[in-house]
Homo-oligomer: A and B are copies of this chain.
């Protein structure tokens, strides 16, 4: 199987994450026999570049997944709910970047560095977690294994590309308007995003945003430990790419900042950038286009006995989305998991 090549569909191929998925497949030399870019009616006639070729985009439909081995979905929850079952029935394994299947107990929610083995029990769909969650759990996992994390209190600084490619264009327009003294009228965002900090996620009944509740719920599922209490405020900042997270955590056992740095230096998917005197702390612009979840500002907190602060930054389109999905695809291939014995849909 390792020497075979595969037909890979990318649903949402013309979106911000879809575009990154196609780039990452190529950069990591994923064994692609044929790439099938799929998008909505709106993208009819467009092409995507892959390995020097311009490949026409196929419009989503019942025939789109014929002969597809792996289908990477990043076209929104509605599309995933409707078309992932179609893809699975057609014989594909779906790696879904939307939130449609993440809470389904039959669907593994996977960050390879944290719970890669969960892929073993997939039945046709594997969910890719929320961007803010992925970059955090790769950092939390080694600390949890060493000292058991009891509580995490996190505030995020999230880039607009987490919303969409059009949201990036709106941030540019909004910023230009403000710099030129014109009015910045929001379209996709509820308030102007240029030089502002706001919220643009739906609110749940408890006053938390859906994004905040995703972090709480997904962390527990990925870490496979529901004793971890994580609570979040997720905010949108005027940044194009790269989410930052201000993370306070409390452990059951005492663990020092020095020990955490030592653990994280060896952790897969993590890069420690933590020498304030030398200007070493991660920022969104430095993380742009990079694979790692960067961590800095690791320090013992004085306000509670077993508490620490840290600052976690990663490219939300890469480890937070496209890269994590392709890593899951790599495991499917390496471990020969493309034909599950039992399917979610029959």
Contact = CB atoms under 8 A, between A and B. Distances in A.
Given A190-B279, A297-B207, A304 B197 contact: no
Task: State the oligomeric state as a number of copies.
Answer: 2
B230 A303 contact: yes
A196 B313 CA distance: 11
Interface in A137-196: 151, 153, 155, 157, 171-172, 175-176, 179, 190-192, 195-196
A232 B263 CA distance: 24
A298 B208 CA distance: 9
Interface in A228-250: 229-231, 233, 235, 237-240, 244, 246, 248
Most B CB contacts (10 A, CB to CB) among A175, A203, A206, A300 go to A175
A136 to B, nearest CB: 14
A206 B206 CA distance: 37
A235 B231 contact: no
Interface in A103-143: none
Contact of A179 (B175, B231, B298): B175
Interface in A271-325: 276-277, 279, 281, 283-286, 297-304, 307, 309, 311
A257 interface: yes
A198 interface: yes
A199 interface: yes
B231 A285 contact: no
B283 A197 contact: yes
A230 B304 CA distance: 10
A309 B195 CA distance: 24
A309 B175 contact: no
Given A157-B157, A203-B277, A231-B303, A285 B208 contact: no
Given A197-B244, A233-B309, A283-B198, A257 B207 contact: yes
A191 B283 contact: yes
Contacts of A246: 155, 233, 235, 246
